[in-house]
Chains A and B, each alone.
Chain A
Amino acid sequence: MTVQLKGRAEAITIQWIPKYTFMERLGHWLHTATFVPLAVTGMILYFPFLQPLAQGEAGLLIRLVHRIAAVIFGLLPILYFIIQPRRLLLNIREFLPNKDDLGWLKGAPAYYLLGRHEAMPPQGRFNAGEKMNGLVMIIAWFVFGLTGLPMWFGKGVIPPELYRWLVVFHDLAMIVSVCMFLVHLYLAVAHPLMWAGLVSMRFGVTSADYAAEHHAKWYYGPKRAMEIWEAKKREAAQH
């Protein structure tokens, strides 16, 4: 698929290549559409200075929304597993960390703040940051479910000490996942280097140039990607 944008002085040609399946995108957006209301309603219950919003009828509405969203949030990965079990396992495998990810961590400041491409080793279909995001969300899904369900059905029944611990872990999962989400949101919608990310999560395709630059290990394969990167580093050193 090729789209041509003709400007005044030159023509920019973007060659689009497929990146995400329909189910991946649907899952991603449904996850977002339930995570955000869960985070918002949860934080209203969590922050003492938002307590006035959690009172009376408003408080009941907030808790109702939290529970409805939680049901969908909880079912999504299960449905995905039922419909495309192999895909889900592949996705989870893609998120598992390996020692190459340290290179991303080292290069990230120079790359994301200063735009120095040669500082960033080649990345797979998900870069190490996205992998971290994915892994945190998977772990958080379990923690939210394992603490949230007893909080829901055990309120007033399970011993208060246990309840308190459930809330503590629910809150910790919230703190970690919401911080992760904020960074993810910024990179996806506002960071100039990441311009194609949002496009690919919306339409399933990415620019070939962008993929070569940002996901070289996926685009070229690991070996070729390393060679290209080494060459790039040598060139940068000469300047």
Chain B
Amino acid sequence: MNGKKSEIKMSRREFLGLSALGLGISLAGARPATAVRAASPDEVAILYDPVKCVGCKACQMACKRWNRLPNESTDPLRIYESPWGLSAITWNIIKLRRTEVGWHFFNYQCMHCADAACVEVCPTGALSHDPLGFVSLDRDKCNGCGYCTQFCPYGVPHLQVANLLTGEAKSAKCTLCQDRLWAGIGGPSCAEVCPVGALTWGKRGELLEKARARVTELQSRGMNARIYGENEAGGLHRLSILLDEPEQYGLPSVPKTPAFARAWQRVIQPLGNVAFGAALVGILGAFLFVRRKIRMEEVR
């Protein structure tokens, strides 16, 4: 104790053991990388053609009715665009958009990506890729963490808080009327109800062909038409015909998970693991070491 030089001694076994423990703690939270998925032609999809759409909102109504979604209060100043956007109780909506060709209608719903960020981040498996192609949501499994709302490049899922005290919440979004598809009753109610064929449903491969033909036709009429959703995010199961750049519709040309969302998983989680690992190993090491170096009998 009295100023005599001491050196740090630790057996190799202890050192290796502590290092392994630290590494183990650091890796405990790591998540394996998932392969990129791609859509296949036989899967179910919806095609939306804004040139045919008359903005009657029948799709919006049918969606509410089939999925038993309550109505939202209406803003009298925005008589047409009401409700204002997708929400936990509005899964399908028609909005007005101004593009190259002027004002026209555009329908928004879940894009049902083949490689969906929401599925990737969902910790409970509530969101999953259905064999039929769409992104299914099992509300019973959902624990309301809200990651899907943060990671979706289209801002589609919304959280519905059921209880402020327990934080109980459920994610909500269009499921392509999964119950109808599973039961074989028919297709998504929005597409079934559309009186003008703006929303149609069927096999994705066939819809793509139809879309290509339609795009050629619209181009020959002088419109800057294109397909949106063929390859975006692994291929969408909600295909759209656009008459302008995707950005004019508020759609990303390259759908990306917002960087801030990744920051948490890629940086904060590993950082936390390393910090906890280092703290625990350091303390355990110090404990073992100090126990031998400093004797209680000599301490005042």
Interface residues of A (CB under 8 A from B): 45-49, 51, 54-56, 59-61, 63-64, 66-67, 112-118, 152-153, 155-157, 160-161, 163-165, 167-168, 171-172, 174-176, 178-179, 182-183, 186, 190-193, 195, 209-210, 213, 236-237, 239
Contacts and interface: CB of A to CB of B under 8 A. Distances in A.
B150 interface: yes
Given A60-B167, A195-B299, A213-B300, A115 B143 contact: no
Contacts of A46: 272
B102 interface: no
Contact of B260 (A60, A165, A190): A165
A160 B294 contact: no
Contacts of A49: 28-29
A7 to B, nearest CB: 12
Interface of B is mostly: mixed
14 contacts: A55-B143, A63-B166, A63-B167, A64-B166, A67-B167, A117-B1, A156-B160, A160-B149, A160-B150, A176-B275, A179-B276, A182-B279, A195-B296, A239-B4
Interface residues of B, number: 57
B71 interface: no
Given A161-B258, A236-B2, A153 B164 contact: yes
B268 A172 contact: yes
A136 to B, nearest CB: 13
B280 interface: yes
Interface in B79-106: 88
A209 B299 CA distance: 10
B164 A156 contact: no
Given A49-B28, A168-B263, A64 B165 contact: yes
A169 B265 CA distance: 13
B8 A113 contact: yes
Interface of B: 1-4, 6, 8, 28-29, 31, 88, 123-124, 143, 145-146, 149-150, 155, 158-161, 163-169, 258, 260-261, 263-264, 268-269, 271-272, 275-276, 278-280, 282-283, 286-287, 289-291, 293-296, 298-300
Given A156-B161, A179-B275, A239-B4, A47 B29 contact: yes
A113 B286 contact: yes
